[in-house]
Structure 1
Amino acid sequence: MEKELRIKFTQIEFKDLSEIERQLFDASKKARENAYAPYSHFNVGCAALLENGEIITGNNQENAAYPSGLCAERVTIFHIGANYPHLKIKKLFVIGGPSRLATFSTATPPCGACRQSMFEYETKQEQAIEIYFSGLEGSVFKCNSVKDLLPFSFDASFL
Structure 2
Amino acid sequence: MKKIILNSEIEELSPEELDHIEQALLSRAQTISKLAYAPYSNFNVGAALLLENGEVLQSSNQENVSYPVGTCAERIALGYAGANYPTSAPVMLAIVAHRAGEEKWAGVSPCGMCRQAINETENRFKKPITMLILSAGGTVLRIKGISALLPIKFDDLNSAGLEY
TM-score by length of 1: 0.94
TM superposition shift of 1:156: 2.5
Residue by residue over 1:101-131, the C-alpha shift from the partner in whole angstroms, topping out at 9 and shown as x without a partner, is 1123x43111111000010000000111101
> Following TM superposition, by how much is the alpha carbon of 1:7 offset from its aligned partner in structure 2, in angstroms?
1.0
* Structure 2, gaps ≥5 residues long: 160-164
- Secondary structure, aligned partner of 1:122: helix
| Local SS of the residue matching 1:156 | coil
The equivalences for 1:9-158 within 5 A come to 9-104=10-105, 106-135=106-135, 138-156=138-156, 158=158
2:135/2:141 contact within 8 Å kept: no
The structure that has the greater radius of gyration is 2
In the alignment of these two chains, the number of paired residues is 158
Work out the CA distance in 2 between the residues paired with 1:9 and 1:67.
30
> Residue 137 of structure 1: CA displacement?
6.0
| SS of equivalent residue, structure 2 residue 12 | strand
Q: Which moved more, 1:58-67 or 1:94-103?
A: 94-103
Q: Which AA in structure 1 matches 2:140?
A: V
One-letter amino acid of the counterpart of residue 68, structure 2: P
Structure 1 segments of 4 or more deviating over 6 A? none
Tell me how far 1:40 sits from its aligned partner.
0.3
- 1:82 counterpart SS class: helix
Q: CA RMSD for the aligned pairs? A: 1.4
**Equivalent-residue separation in structure 2 for 1:86 and 1:152 (angstroms):** 27
Flag structure 1 segments of 5+ consecutive residues without an equivalent. Answer: none
**SS of aligned partner of 1:21:** helix
Matched letter for residue 86 of structure 1: T
In structure 1, what is the Cα distance between the partners aligned to 2:94 and 2:158? 29
Distance 1:94 1:35 in 2: 13
Q: How far does residue 97 in structure 1 lie from its aligned partner after superposition?
A: 2.4
